[in-house]
Structure 1
């Protein structure tokens, strides 16, 4: 059984054994002591105090909790942030990966106080040496390093990390203990719960005793993800808090889509802080009603160019009416948040924010507009923002700014048309939403995305997914530059209109040197397409309809790739198509099959290498455990021998004294 095949109790016998094994829950008094560390470093509550006892935490989110987003989150009350999850093996060994993920250049603000501290750097790993090598790169630029034991996604299963280490407790112990002993930075861990409360408690105690100086507990199981997310179990989090918090702080994660759930979560779980992922992504103001003053203090310390750009973003707001309650506001207009976020992106001294991260944030900020059925065309146009990879960074960012500017004008038109409540183009408090708008947050504002066992509005979700799919298809066509008719559909350019020769019989479909048609006298008319360099696809029987694609010049059937394949496939059932072999297209198909086979073989090789490495790690942990056991047994044997020798000498002495 490899690490990619988690060992799970599936038979009644195995379930019964597990029930017996974890029938007695651990207690604080029975927790095993942590191993001694080589370095003199902060531990437990000393670490917590050094970070300012943060209560409002931004979760680690792949490609989403990047520096620019951490800054805007801190502006609105977050007082501890995690980086995105970094792959320890790549971070340690790939020269390009680390600078792209975590900018350690002299001018960077990443991991630098007061702009980006306190900070936790999270890694996924299944090899203690790779994790240690990666963690050493960020020493001095963070307050702690975190082992991801909570990621439930398929990529974590394929890579053997995250929540898919939950069955490999000895491997977890070896990694956390190794870093705890050999790294000068404190080590912490983020985990998910088991369906069984007792097993969850044993699991948390195992992680603590391995050397973790802080635990964050996500109150959902590994299977609770996507449309099966469900509700987080605050009682399980509370049980872990009661068990572990006398030793080290415990944070709660899950079940807080909006700011109204923050305080109840802290009270019901007893956790020392509450962590937000999706709630923060859809509304970066989630912590603001609880910690607004600290957010303003943080903003005042930002570099002057960034502060000026952030202040300019307030022109988005209409403050002529009731004004803005900066201490209690919980929902801000999406255009305002987007302007501030892009202002941060533009004014970061050296760090470049990934286009994928910017696009993902804007999708989430403006989701309520599309969910309300307004301006779906902007969802499609956002997909085209960012430009091509060859474009300059400033140009790519400017495409997003232009998109936000366009969206602002559309929403202003909605206000003018009376589609939105008056005096709502400003940050709103929860009390104002209840009293002025009957509890309904205007669709122009960032707000929670409630996702439980299944979408509340399946039709709406299906419509949004369909819009995304259609937008992607259009982008592939519009942005393509390849005109080769044998190219895959995703690369093929928009088909040109059929040339005049397409109407001729197949035998007359030959290349011509006819002059291009004269330019239209109408200056507003679209430019004519260039004359095709090849004949139109014959698209012969059994497909009498004309095909707009160009024929491949070397095709024996005078057809495009798709039509030639259709003709050859029909040869066995249609006597008219007996002689439709095409060496050109058959050779290309064979070449494509070989390429697919090579890719599959390479994929299998990578998977097998990963599984082999995982098995080696598990075996190494077992050998190390067995060696320690042998050493302990040898020491006990020597102690028994010494005791026996001492007892024998005592008896000889007593006998001598008696004889004397």
Structure 2
């Protein structure tokens, strides 16, 4: 951070507003630090669509301290990025240069999250002399503007809204597959763990995966980046086909969503009351553990062990009975229990690499990777032709956020009982048809 020489050799911290203006360039569109979700590739995608300031992911302090690989992965950056490392400053008197206020109490988490209260944020803004960012209740760019007007904050930080629509700060709602394709291109440039990519696809495709459950399985079980790329192409294919049907028969796609499912749009959590009711329904469907009629060999076991034994009757809890491992067929190391070739992992790697094979037991998929790449190339060519046919002759509009019937989330208001319904029955077929004609064109 920029600082100035002080007495006794100490360097004085830059003041809050000076730091915000000179170092952060008066950033007001901010992407929050998120666990396993604000990695470099996602930050670069967010910056491409209007984010002016991004944070590194939230870090696990003890792992960060002991693991060099974790540190390198967490702090990955590039000249175009320059993120702020995530940290916690509590008080202005302790040297805090910038403060973000979430507007929720400590009890508001999980199913009880509810709405952030912008009155709390405004109260803090009015009583500190450093820049303040607001966080909470941001679903569209219009919410950003209204929040800054009502609270007087210097910027707005978003998290969940950004995960469902990384182009939120540009005020557009692009096709979900377009954002996924651009993100995967950035992952090729700035690699990250596969679990991060999987998490982003689940968020981007949230509404689409409700309809296309087979693609949900592809995303959830994909073992490589190429397998996730194939899932994105499958989703793109389904979306383009449905968009073609939408032109002639929009009533097939009537829903409570403000846009068709193939358009990036916010996800609204159920209200605390609805979440509690949903939990009760889930609990009612669970089969209770019958402790009165358990087999004789399970008597005396804990509930946890009984559950494990019922799930796996061959499971042994006797630590004295050690498993005897067979030897690898190529060396004297223990072989993998599930290896397809009866080898240890090292020998299996050599064999699969030499002969281009798969080994499910060791999680090696060299043959499948080549096949998936070929499928991706073929599918991509087919979809390019379909997309060109759908978009030829139409005027591009990268989506919009002013949807007829859209119910904005007020900082001090309440989401109606049907909180998962932004537009409800006010979203007319005529408006949707007109919207689709514009949104159907590929984002340039």
1:275 correspondence with 2:157 = yes
Q: 1:455 touches 1:461 (CA, 8 Å); kept in 2?
A: no
Matching residue of 1:42: 14
Matching residue of 1:334: 176
1:442 correspondence with 2:260 = yes
Matching residue of 1:531: none
1:234 correspondence with 2:118 = yes
For residues 603-625 of structure 1, what are the alpha-carbon distances to aligned partners after superposition, in whole Å with 9 as ceiling and x for unaligned? Answer: xxxxxxxxxxxxxxxxxxxxxxx
1:57 correspondence with 2:21 = no
Q: How far is 1:95 from its partner?
A: 2.5
- 1 CA distance for matches of 2:280 and 2:98? 41
Cα distance change, pair 455–359 in 1 and its aligned pair in 2 (3 A): farther
Matching residue of 2:146: 264
- 2 CA distance for matches of 1:229 and 1:414? 34
Residues 1-40 of structure 1: matches in 2 within 5 Å?
38-40=10-12
Q: Secondary structure at the match of 2:260?
A: coil
- 1 CA distance for matches of 2:132 and 2:48? 24
Matching residue of 1:86: 59
Matching residue of 2:216: 379
Q: 1:254 touches 1:276 (CA, 8 Å); kept in 2?
A: yes
For residues 224-278 of structure 1, what are the alpha-carbon distances to aligned partners after superposition, in whole Å with 9 as ceiling and x for unaligned? Answer: 012111111111111111111xx21111111213323111111111000000011
Q: Secondary structure at the match of 2:65?
A: helix
- 2 CA distance for matches of 1:285 and 1:375? 24
Matching residue of 2:376: none
- 2 CA distance for matches of 1:344 and 1:376? 26
Cα distance change, pair 463–381 in 1 and its aligned pair in 2 (3 A): farther
For residues 404-427 of structure 1, what are the alpha-carbon distances to aligned partners after superposition, in whole Å with 9 as ceiling and x for unaligned? Answer: 1111112222233348878xxxxx
Cα distance change, pair 569–419 in 1 and its aligned pair in 2 (3 A): farther
- 2 CA distance for matches of 1:52 and 1:420? 48
Q: Considering only aligned residues, what root-mean-square deviation do their CA atoms show, in Å?
A: 3.7
1:354 correspondence with 2:318 = no
- 2 CA distance for matches of 1:587 and 1:416? 53
- 2 CA distance for matches of 1:376 and 1:455? 28
Cα distance change, pair 340–460 in 1 and its aligned pair in 2 (3 A): farther
Q: How far is 1:89 from its partner?
A: 3.6
Cα distance change, pair 420–94 in 1 and its aligned pair in 2 (3 A): farther
Q: Secondary structure at the match of 2:272?
A: coil
Q: How far is 1:41 from its partner?
A: 4.1
- 2 CA distance for matches of 1:345 and 1:72? 10
Cα distance change, pair 92–344 in 1 and its aligned pair in 2 (3 A): same
Q: How far is 1:397 from its partner?
A: 1.5
Matching residue of 1:100: 73
Matching residue of 2:50: 77
Q: Count how many residue pairs are aligned between Structure 1 and Structure 2.
A: 292
1:345 correspondence with 2:345 = no
Q: How far is 1:592 from its partner?
A: 8.7
Q: Secondary structure at the match of 1:450?
A: coil
Matching residue of 1:453: 271
Residues 495-506 of structure 1: matches in 2 within 5 Å?
none
For residues 556-582 of structure 1, what are the alpha-carbon distances to aligned partners after superposition, in whole Å with 9 as ceiling and x for unaligned? Answer: xxxxxxxxx946459xxxxxxxxxxxx
Q: 2:112 touches 2:275 (CA, 8 Å); kept in 1?
A: no
Q: Secondary structure at the match of 2:42?
A: helix
Cα distance change, pair 463–63 in 1 and its aligned pair in 2 (3 A): farther
Q: 2:164 touches 2:266 (CA, 8 Å); kept in 1?
A: yes
- 1 CA distance for matches of 2:221 and 2:149? 45
Matching residue of 2:92: 208
Rg larger in 1 or in 2?
1
Q: 2:218 touches 2:227 (CA, 8 Å); kept in 1?
A: no
Q: How far is 1:91 from its partner?
A: 2.2
Q: Secondary structure at the match of 1:359?
A: helix
Q: How far is 1:456 from its partner?
A: 6.0
- 1 CA distance for matches of 2:166 and 2:271? 24
Cα distance change, pair 375–39 in 1 and its aligned pair in 2 (3 A): same
The TM-score with structure 2 as length reference comes to 0.59
- 2 CA distance for matches of 1:445 and 1:592? 57
Q: 1:228 touches 1:454 (CA, 8 Å); kept in 2?
A: yes
Q: 2:56 touches 2:74 (CA, 8 Å); kept in 1?
A: no
Q: How far is 1:38 from its partner?
A: 2.4
1:220 correspondence with 2:104 = yes
Q: Secondary structure at the match of 2:201?
A: helix
Q: 1:56 touches 1:80 (CA, 8 Å); kept in 2?
A: yes
1:589 correspondence with 2:304 = no
Q: How far is 1:457 from its partner?
A: 8.8
Residues 413-432 of structure 1: matches in 2 within 5 Å?
413-418=241-246
- 2 CA distance for matches of 1:588 and 1:228? 40
Residues 606-617 of structure 1: matches in 2 within 5 Å?
none
- 2 CA distance for matches of 1:405 and 1:70? 23
Q: How far is 1:88 from its partner?
A: 3.2
Residues 628-639 of structure 1: matches in 2 within 5 Å?
none
- 2 CA distance for matches of 1:66 and 1:346? 13
Identify the range of structure 1 (454-463 vs 38-47) with the bigger mean alpha-carbon deviation.
454-463
Alignment partner of 2:84 out of 96, 100, 120: 120
Q: 2:73 touches 2:192 (CA, 8 Å); kept in 1?
A: no
For residues 9-42 of structure 1, what are the alpha-carbon distances to aligned partners after superposition, in whole Å with 9 as ceiling and x for unaligned? Answer: xxxxxxxxxxxxxxxxxxxxxxxxxx99922443
For residues 587-646 of structure 1, what are the alpha-carbon distances to aligned partners after superposition, in whole Å with 9 as ceiling and x for unaligned? Answer: 94232999xxxxxxxxxxxxxxxxxxxxxxxxxxxxxxxxxxxxxxxxxxxxxxxxxxxx
Q: 1:252 touches 1:275 (CA, 8 Å); kept in 2?
A: yes
Cα distance change, pair 461–415 in 1 and its aligned pair in 2 (3 A): farther
The TM-score with structure 1 as length reference comes to 0.40
Q: How far is 1:63 from its partner?
A: 0.1
